[in-house]
Amino acid sequence: MKFLLIFLGGGLGSVLRYIMSKYLNNFESVIPFGTFVVNVVGSLIIGIILGLTYKNNVISQNQTLFFAVGFCGGFTTFSTFAFENSIFIKNGDYINFALYTSVSIFVGILAVFLGMFLVK
């Protein structure tokens, strides 16, 4: 049952990630905005889910598996993020590499804290 919940959540997250990235990465931006948004939103969602889980067990273990492990695991895009950064490095675009990497990590961590704060 646990594997099925993770599988279904991951599939849903992956499809939503594809849709968001497809439309948001079409902007003529130097930084892949769609990947950035997906990672920040995924960080916020996992913060909310884990905050609710830790707060009086508001969310069950199965719901946590579906949303945090499955959905957020399929939705967030670390491998895409790593690939996009490898392109920056390959092209010698070290400024955008440093900017995209540092802002994504910093804002992603802040989003997790924000999600946990929102459910307190």
* pLDDT string in tens for the chain (120-residue length): 999 999 999 999 999 999 998 888 876 778 888 999 999 999 999 999 989 988 878 899 999 999 999 999 999 988 889 989 999 999 999 999 999 999 999 999 999 999 999 998
- Give CA–CA dist 108/43, Å, rounded: 5
How many independent structural domains does the chain possess?
1
Q: 23: domain range? A: 2-118
Distances (CA, A) of 33 to 38, 54, 67, 100: 9, 31, 23, 10
Q: How many C-beta atoms lie closer than 10 Å to residue 96's C-beta?
A: 17
